[in-house]
Structures are given as C-alpha cells and as structure tokens.
Structure 1
C-alpha cells in the first residue's frame, strides 16, 4: 500500500517562500558588500605609490595589508616623494572609517600633502596647511598622519605628527625605541592647528619606521604591547642587517598578533651613517 505524503499547509508554503526570499536578499546583500570591499581594495592599491624614492645610503621599503576579514578596508596609506629643495618627503596615515569613502578621502589627503609640500618643506607647516585645507572641504572625516622630511645634505630627519601613533627607531649597534614626540590634533578637525617639528641627525646606521595602528592595536592587544613588539622586531632586524624591504615585511607580520581587524601599513627608512666628508 502506497502512503501519500499529507498535503502541505499554506502556512508551510508561506514559510518556505519567505525563507527563499530572505536567502536571496542575504545573498544579494553579501554580493553588494563584496563588491564594495573589492572597490575599496582597488582604490586603496591604485592610490598607493608604485615606487618610493631612495638615495645613496638610504633604502626605503613599505607594505600595506587589508583587514583579515575583508570588511574593514579603510584609509591607511604611505607615500614618498622628492621635494623641490632636493630633500625627500614621506607620509603615513590612517583615515577615520572603513569604507570606499575613507579610501577615496585617503587619496585626496595624499595629493593635498604633495601639493602643500611644493610650497613648504617644513613638516609642521605641511601638516598645518593640509589640515586647514581638509577642514575647509567639510567632509566630516579626519585622519591621523606623520610627515617626515629627510635632508640628504645634513643627514637629518625632521618629523611632525597629527594624532598618529609613534614611530620606531633602531641603530645597528642594537639600540631601539619608540618615538614619543609631541604632536597635534588629527587632520581635518580644527582649523589653525599647529604641529611641532622634531629634528634628528643620523649619526650612525639604523632604521626609522613609520606605521599605522592596525599593526600594534587590536581587540585584545593594547597599543603599548603592540608597539613594544614592533620595537623589538625593528631592533632585531636592524641589528641583523635586514634591508628596508625585508624589514617592512617582518614588521607587517606583527599584524597577526593584533587579530588583524584593521588594515595596516608600514614605511621603513633604512639609512647608513652620514658620509665621511659630512656631505649628503
């Protein structure tokens, strides 16, 4: 005797139809989010410099990595370029927010910093003018940033920072530490903000490393702990004689210890000591 399956109730049919509709909407939403992430990644990578400037006795290297989960593509950047007086300008920063808009805003800041640096080579003034420019466009976004100038004639680094995380230094004799310079507010918050400049003369071979907070901070990792870890990595790599590109790769691995919930960038300047004759 053949048993017949009892007819489905209309409520069951309605439930299945609702589940099908919700599944389709979820799939569409996931595909839209994936498209937004892919667009943000493309914007991010296209806006980062293809090459970085270098000079005899100065190597440069950098890395960028999106967030591990692919949903927090943001506005981390690094940049390097020649300035009108023959010095080199470097910047690294992090735009508030994680979206296509943040990635696009990052590109505007990079262009703005380069434009301002054609009129002034002082890092503090570069940040101050860029800040006023960003405030004037009223985008309701802000960015932290460190701007660094390398003077090859005096073998000097000049730096200023706008609410950004500290940089890290190391010397070939094993010394290392984090740079706790005074800074100003992030860019884009308050007009007329000033940014103190710190001057360092490079007297021996070593490394100077700029980074973003995705490398040193996470849900369970305080910024002090992450910064100490990166400082040890930079110190060990410099002592071992790692080049700029190799050292950038090693430092980027520190993001694994923060659970990589944010995108991250690192910029490494690997320098020799000043020329024997005192000239750049």
Structure 2
C-alpha cells in the first residue's frame, strides 16, 4: 500500500533565498524607475528656458514644480522669447503623461513653436502649423498649449489656445478676470485645425498670468474654484513684481493637493497711454 508523502515544508533557508531574490528584483525596479525620473528631471531642466526676456515696461517670470511626490515630471512647460520683429512670444503647455517621453515631446513642441513663430505673426497660425508638424512626427502623445504674442509698442496682446486652461488677469485699478477665449483641439489630435485668435490691449498697469492645471486642479480643488482662487490672488497683488507674483501663484498649488506638476508664467506690464486697458 502506497502512502502519500507529506509535502516538505519550506525551510528557513528557502524562505530567505526567495526573499532575497524578490528584494533584489524590487531594488532593480526601483533603481530603474529612479533613473527614468532623474533623466526626465534633467531633460526638463535643459528644455525649459534658462532666462526669460524683459522689455521696457514689461517683466516676465516663470516657475515650475514637480508633483508633490516628485515622480510626475516632464509634462508641463513654458517659454518666452523675442521674435525677429521685436515682439514678445509667450507659451505655456501641458503634455499628456509624464516621464522621459513626455519631457522629450515637450522639448520638440517648444523648439517647433519657436521656429514657426519666427515666421508666422498670427498666434493661431503658429499653433496650427505646430500641430501639423508634431503630427508628422507620428507620436502617440498630445499636448494642450496657449501661445501669445505681445507687441511692446502698441501693447496689443494676441493669443490662441489649444485645449489649454484659461489665463488670469488683473489691473492695478481693481479690475480682474478669467479669460474665456475660444480655442481649438489640443496639439497632436487632428491635422489642419483652426485656432481662433483673441486680441487684448494691455494699456493699464497690471499682470497677465498663464498657468497649467497643476496650479488650479486636484483632489482638493476643482478647475473653476482653482481659477477663481488665482484670480483673487492676482487681483490682490496686481502691482507686485513679476518674480514675487510668480512665487505667490505657484505656492497656491498646494491647495490643490499638488498631485500633478505645475507651471506658471507671469507677464507684468506697466501703464501705457497708447492702449485703453484690458479687454
């Protein structure tokens, strides 16, 4: 008569060996993830501009912060540059996803937009041509973006929006608001998209603030409530230095729960008799 053999219990040595194997594999995965995070951080630093332009009567300042846990990086970006005709170009955007691919894609958009803006004066055309160019790269990613062009002589600000969140403005005479511009699809969705252009006159001293949704939306705050919070903040500090205002706006991101990365771009403008004010 055959007796069934009782399975041998795992020895302490077997358990220890298994634990060591799992620990080693987990360590490798953590190290690989950390390497990707560090690479994305390096790309982010290199892709964002080292300095922003300033013109008489105009100040610019920007801030970027990774998500609270430091892992969600690479998606948000900003840019500011002088154009061949003396105008000031400003852009802010948010790439779908995070990590190395998002950081690299962000860099491609920024470079493409700079090149196109140097030959196209219309912000809507800049976004449309940038959109078609990145679609030709056959990437699976997409991005929201706002592009603005400011004539320093007339103080006319022209802007176009590709699925991006609204901007916030305030003047030192007590007015403020949240832009409600018409916009188009995010970049990278479909070819030959139109992007309507909105015109404003920055003839009264104040500030115009571009931001990403990481500043205004999170588990603790809806987009509408977040925008209203920033509107009140900018209105209260419309006369502040651009650097100070950028710090204050970025700090407000803590109220969202800060689970996403965040970017802020501030345009601070002095009074100019040539324009009637913010519209």
TM tier relative to shorter chain: over 0.9
Residue 162 of structure 1: how far off its partner (Å): 0.1
What does 1:168-247 align with in structure 2 at a 5 Å threshold?
168-238=168-238, 241-247=239-245
Q: Which runs of 5+ in 1 are unaligned?
A: 1-7
Is contact 2:202–2:275 with CA below 8 Å preserved after alignment? no
Q: Distance in 2 between matches of 1:22 and 1:197?
A: 56
Residue 10 of structure 1: how far off its partner (Å): 4.1
Q: Which residue of 2 aligns with 1:273?
A: 271
Q: Distance in 2 between matches of 1:50 and 1:12?
A: 57
Matched, 1:74 2:64: no
Q: Deviations over 1:130-159 (max 9, x none)?
A: 001011111011000000000012111100
What does 1:130-149 align with in structure 2 at a 5 Å threshold?
130-149=130-149
Is contact 2:217–2:226 with CA below 8 Å preserved after alignment? yes
Q: Which residue of 1 aligns with 2:262?
A: 264
Residue 85 of structure 1: how far off its partner (Å): 1.4
TM-score (norm 1): 0.93
Q: Distance in 2 between matches of 1:160 and 1:135?
A: 19
Q: Distance in 1 between matches of 2:15 and 2:226?
A: 50
Aligned residues: 269
Q: Which residue of 2 aligns with 1:4?
A: none
Q: Deviations over 1:168-191 (max 9, x none)?
A: 000002221110100000001100
Divergent runs of 4+, >2 A: 8-13, 275-278
Residue 276 of structure 1: how far off its partner (Å): 6.5
Secondary structure at 2:80 match in 1: strand
Q: Which residue of 1 aligns with 2:3?
A: none
Secondary structure at 2:11 match in 1: helix
Q: Distance in 2 between matches of 1:98 and 1:57?
A: 36
Secondary structure at 1:221 match in 2: coil
Cα RMSD after superposing both structures:
1.6
Matched, 1:21 2:17: no
Is contact 2:64–2:264 with CA below 8 Å preserved after alignment? yes
Residue 9 of structure 1: how far off its partner (Å): 5.8
Residue 13 of structure 1: how far off its partner (Å): 2.2
